[in-house]
Every structure is written in structure tokens, then in C-alpha cells.
Structure 1
């Protein structure tokens, strides 16, 4: 059977972020298709998770637990371990691991790299960290055998700045039947935000908007910075001083989180840097009525199924209030979001595209190097799915509803 090493996430199973969500869906899919799957991760993974697939091998390596050095250090030790074990192909998550791609190449291990967002534009990083990420991107452009872009706009950026093409594979969402409303809240009567507490997610502006919204509506914060800081302190003070403001921290229970999206009167998505955001896609799959910061990425994903606003507290509050007060507008936007997610952002489609990209690279590289070609996995033989190339043209304009 073909073998794949997945490098760059926090491991399997983990519930930290977008890469971890991808791994939880992709690793069992590949195992179902006949792949030998190894996921590299960090200490502290739950070994008693009822959703853990025993066919997925989890390997924990050493590293430095810090905001600046975690990705690089764990990426190095995982890559060295993969060098020794020599899988047929490696799926690398995050172009910061690009520093270590020459190690894989020296061993003849082809790599498919999900480049993630444009980390060197994130406000949470200082100048030196941004330089590290940008250099990692340059090395990824040079040494990766295949690139994956989770948004067409990311692909356009890489073509323009690094001269590399790749395939477009977004994230998926999980639809759900009716879930119970969170105790203490009412269906359609609260404004929700789900995000890491960093400046580029428009958290500060939403805190200001929440002070206005809480005069008439409940406001729910889900998330944290992971490292404390000024934004967490602001949210904590607001929640402590106003009984209509609820801060749930990082919610690991998917069922509870999905319930919050499903019953929200308005979900604000303020992410400004990156491509297709997993939280936005999941909110769409649950039919949440969405207010999003107006960015090229959010326009691409929503495709007309949400309200787009500038990063201004008054405009955020105005749009969210409008949604909570109008059941007709909520139903319209929620239904449009649900339909778009079902059409363009399903986990089945996402996993099939990743498998196709991995299989094509593993077989192509093996044939050209003289190595034995891996045995065809059952799914590839029965129903091959081509990964979608990134269009060479600009991101098309859409007809998203805008709040002006």
C-alpha cells in the first residue's frame, strides 16, 4: 500500500485549528482508501479520544513549545524522523516547514505542501518572525514538488510573488441535524464570534461593537489568544461587567460549537489574512447568518451568501443588529450559505482532492526515480478525482451582499 507522512500539524487527533481539523478528516479517509498513514505531532495528544482511528499511526517528536519556535522545531524533528522511515510521499502543512524540505528531497521523498495563509502579513508576528516565514515560503517555492492553495486568491499571490503554480483545495464543513440551543441563550437572539484573539481577526473592533450590541442582544465570544495578552483582558473585562456578554474560551466540543453557529442570530467573521478559513466554511455548512469583514478571501468563500462590512465597530454592530432583528434576512442568508457550502466546500470533495494530489506525486516521482511504484489504493483505482488547478486569471468578482 502507498505510504504518506503528514508533517506540520499538532498531531492526530487534535482540535487546535484548521490544519488539525483537516488532519482529523483526511487521515481516516486515506486509511479507508488503503494508505499507510503516519501523522507527526506534539506531546499532549489525547489517546482515549473515541473518534481516534486506530489505523492512523501517530508519532510524537520533540520540539520547543513557544509562539516563535514551535512550528520550526517540531517541523525539523518530524522531518528527520520521516527521512529515516521514507514514506512514498509527505504532506507538509505550513510553508514555515519549507526550511526542512531539502531534507526530504535528499532522501527522495516527494512533498505536497499546503502553504497556508500569508503569515508574514499577520500582525501577531514581529519583524524577525515575519522574515522567517517569508524565507520559509521562498524555500517552499524552490523545494516543494507540489503546492496546495486553500483559496484561489492565495494561488494568485504565489504566482505573482514566487512564480509557482499549484492546486486549489479548500477546507470542508460538516452539516448537522438540529442541535440543542446552548443553555442561557435563545435561537436567533445572539451575536457570535469564533476566532483566535489576534488583531488581524478584527477582535478589537468587534469588542467595541459588542459594547453597543449588548444593549439589546446577547453577545458570545468563543476563542482565546493562547498566550494571554491585551485582547483577552479586554474580552474578560467586558464579560465580567455585562451579563449579556458571554466568553466561553476555546470550545473543543464540536457538537457544542456547531450548536452555537447553528442557533446564532448573526455570526461575525473578522479574519483578514489567509485564505479559505475553516471556521467560515463550517459556519456556512451549518446555515449560520454571516457578517464578514470585506476581504478578497471572504468574498471568494461566501460568494454572495453573507453581509460584507469594513473593519469598523459601528458598521459591524449595524449589520449584526440588522440580522438579529430580521428573521427573513437570517433565513435568506443562512439558506444561501448552506447551499454554497454543500456545493463547494464538502469534506468528501476536499479529501478526494488531497488523495489525488498525493497519489499523482507519489507515482510520478517513483516512476522517474526508478523506485517501485506504490500499489494503487482502492479509491484511486475506482474513482480518481483530479485536484483542481488554480486558475491563472484573477479572482472573479462576486455578488456578495454589502453593507455600505
Structure 2
């Protein structure tokens, strides 16, 4: 069975959760006999790769604009383009996200044998970074994606609450996968690369860590305010990019109120060894995501044996259960930050518990086995459907 993965910016992963997922899935299916194609954002011809993790890479032919609004149109057009193009040579279209859910029917117009599977991601229409019109369109696209898709994937059991009960029969739970990272020592070339991001000294075991897209629904403002209120004498290291200049100005203004050593913004970091070094040596990891499902950065922090301080919502509790510390607002978070800073040893058991919970439930061996089972089922159903259609046709002919 030939499979096309559409809806991320492409692999190798250089952006967010869907890119990380596509990279992991292709890596773990590389030797399973599937021909996989991944849609990719435009890159100049001299920077393109034909294959990665055994998957064929197909690039959109137009450069992305820098303007935010035009960028959203660009991404939607790119997704529609690949829904049409890749339907012709692939039996299964796996679409990541719901942004063009109203167009999920397109592959069936160009390939009657194609099946469409959609990963509905999180509760996109509740994200405050979108205006009311965008939120309404996202909800419409979410609903239509679940109508047109043959199979619906939720990466969190809690996301089933956002699928119409009449569509639950075609809904499967398959989360993100995670690999156990190698341990990175705090020295050598990796530490030297950290110096290219900041001139401020960061010492192992003496900083809080946050890795996220810097948006309101990830509670960056709550975390920065709580950190300033806590007045601990270690820095907060923040990895990620802002998606709004207005929000960036708000956050930078809040950060100015923190006492030294304050907040250190490193921007986006895609150096895997550097990321692992920072995760594995922090005092605790702060996770503010609030509009789920399962977030890859939370899994990566957990598998790195961190004390997890997570926003209190059903998506984060599904991942960590009782193996994390939770907060609802900045006052609660400030209290937790001070308590962990004063006595981290009393929380150390949480590191081991959350590590084993994530290892047992979210390892790529476990997740890829689930996908292989699902792909086999889809292939068998498709073969049976067309054998039945061909028999009916022959009987009518006779």
C-alpha cells in the first residue's frame, strides 16, 4: 500500500509537532515495505532531498510569503494541492490537521480506490491566537473532516469527546511516539553550541525549562508572570518562536519585571543533542499547553526524566496522571516553582514515575505497531470492497 502524509511542513522536522510526528512515523515504518510520500514546504532545488527515512519527499513549487495572513492562505493552498496531486498514486492519504477539512473529499474524486485518514490534532478552534472568523472556520473544517474521512485518528483519548458520537465507529486512538534519547553530558561540542544562542551562563540543574510555540494558549504569559512572582535565583530558559509580534511585546515586557538572572529566550532550537542536553539537566520542565491533545514536547520532557510542572487540564493529566505537578493559574505556579527550587529532592520520585509511564504507553515500538495494524486493516477492507464491486459489475455484465 502506498501512503501519502500531508499537512505538515515536511521532514526532516524543523518546525512543530506534526513535523516531529511525520519524522518519527516514517523512521519507524522505513523497513515495513510501505512506499511513503511526505508533502514538504517549498525549498530551493539545491536544498532539496529526494528521500528521508526511506520516504519520498514532494515539495510545493511556490515560496511561502512572510505575511501571517498570506502565510495561512499559502498553507491551505499547499494542502489542497497535495490532496489532489498525491491522491493519484497513493491508496491511503493520511492528512495531519483539520485546517482544510472541507476539502478532505478531494482524493476520492481522482482515485476511487483511495482511503482518507485524518488526524484531528487538538481543539484548534479554541486557540486565542485566531480571530472569531478563523475559529469558526476551524470548527467547520473539524466537523467536515470527520464527515469526509474514512478513518479518524485522535492522539489523545480525551479528543474523542470532540468527535460526533455517530463518527466514533471510525475513530482510532493512536498517539505520538517517543524514542528514549541518549544521555548528553554537559560539556564538549554540545555545550559550545549553546553559547551560539546566548552569552549568559547556564549551569546544569539550576534552571527551569520551557519548550513551546510562544502563543497564548500555551500560557506563556502565565508562566512568565509566575516565574517573576516566585523570585527564585535561577533563570527560566525559554525555547521557541513567537507567532505574534503583539504577544511577543507583551511577553518581553513581563520578562523585564523578573529579577536576575531572569528569563533567557533562546528562540527555536532544532539541534537534537542540544535540546536533549537542556531537557536532561533542568531543575524542572514547565508545560503550559492547554488545548491538547497529546503534545510531543511533554513526551520529550517526560522521557528525559524531568520533574514536570504542567497546566492542569485533561490532556496533560492523560499523559502524566499523578506523575506531575499541576497548576491552574500564576499564583499556584509561583508556589510550585518556589517549592521545587527549595527542595527538589522531595519531587525526584516523579521523574522516574513519569519516565516509565511515557516509556510504556508512548514508545515508537508501541505506536508504530498500532499504525501497522491499522494500515493492514485498511488494506484488507479496501481489497474486499473492490473485489465485491468487481463481482457485482461482472454479474450485471452477464
Under TM normalisation by the shorter chain, which class is it?
A: 0.7 to 0.9
Partners of 2:107 and 2:12 lie apart in 1 by 24
Partners of 2:122 and 2:80 lie apart in 1 by 20
Shift, 1:45, TM fit: 8.1
Task: Look up the match of 2:366.
Answer: 349
Partners of 2:48 and 2:41 lie apart in 1 by 16
Shift, 1:239, TM fit: 6.5
Task: Look up the match of 2:37.
Answer: 38
> Relative to structure 1, is the Cα distance of residues 74 and 201 closer, same or farther in structure 2, using a 3 angstrom cutoff?
same
Partners of 2:53 and 2:333 lie apart in 1 by 45
Shift, 1:237, TM fit: 7.2
Structure label with greater radius of gyration = 2
**TM superposition score normalised by structure 2:** 0.85
Q: Which runs of 5+ in 1 are unaligned?
A: 373-404
Task: Look up the match of 2:92.
Answer: 89
Task: Look up the match of 2:20.
Answer: 21
Match of residue 212, structure 1, among 229, 243, 248: 229
> Relative to structure 1, is the Cα distance of residues 337 and 239 closer, same or farther in structure 2, using a 3 angstrom cutoff?
farther
> Relative to structure 1, is the Cα distance of residues 162 and 120 closer, same or farther in structure 2, using a 3 angstrom cutoff?
farther
Q: How many residues align?
A: 369
Q: Superposition pairs for residues 2-401 of structure 1, below 5 Å? A: 2-44=1-43, 53=52, 55-62=54-61, 65=65, 66-83=70-87, 85-106=88-109, 107-108=111-112, 109-160=114-165, 165-181=170-186, 184-231=201-248, 234-235=251-252, 238=255, 242-310=260-328, 312-370=329-387
> Relative to structure 1, is the Cα distance of residues 39 and 163 closer, same or farther in structure 2, using a 3 angstrom cutoff?
same
Task: Look up the match of 1:382.
Answer: none
Partners of 2:45 and 2:121 lie apart in 1 by 25
Shift, 1:215, TM fit: 4.3
Partners of 1:186 and 1:17 lie apart in 2 by 27
**Paired residues of 2:30 and 2:53 also in contact (CA < 8 A):** no
> Relative to structure 1, is the Cα distance of residues 18 and 361 closer, same or farther in structure 2, using a 3 angstrom cutoff?
same
**Paired residues of 2:128 and 2:217 also in contact (CA < 8 A):** yes
**Paired residues of 1:111 and 1:145 also in contact (CA < 8 A):** yes
Partners of 2:361 and 2:261 lie apart in 1 by 39
Shift, 1:92, TM fit: 0.8
Greater CA deviation, 258-267 or 207-216? 207-216
**TM superposition score normalised by structure 1:** 0.84
**Paired residues of 1:306 and 1:333 also in contact (CA < 8 A):** yes
Partners of 2:20 and 2:46 lie apart in 1 by 17
Shift, 1:80, TM fit: 1.3
**Paired residues of 2:320 and 2:354 also in contact (CA < 8 A):** yes
Greater CA deviation, 5-14 or 151-160? 151-160
Shift, 1:230, TM fit: 2.5
Shift, 1:97, TM fit: 3.0
2:245 aligned counterpart, secondary structure = coil
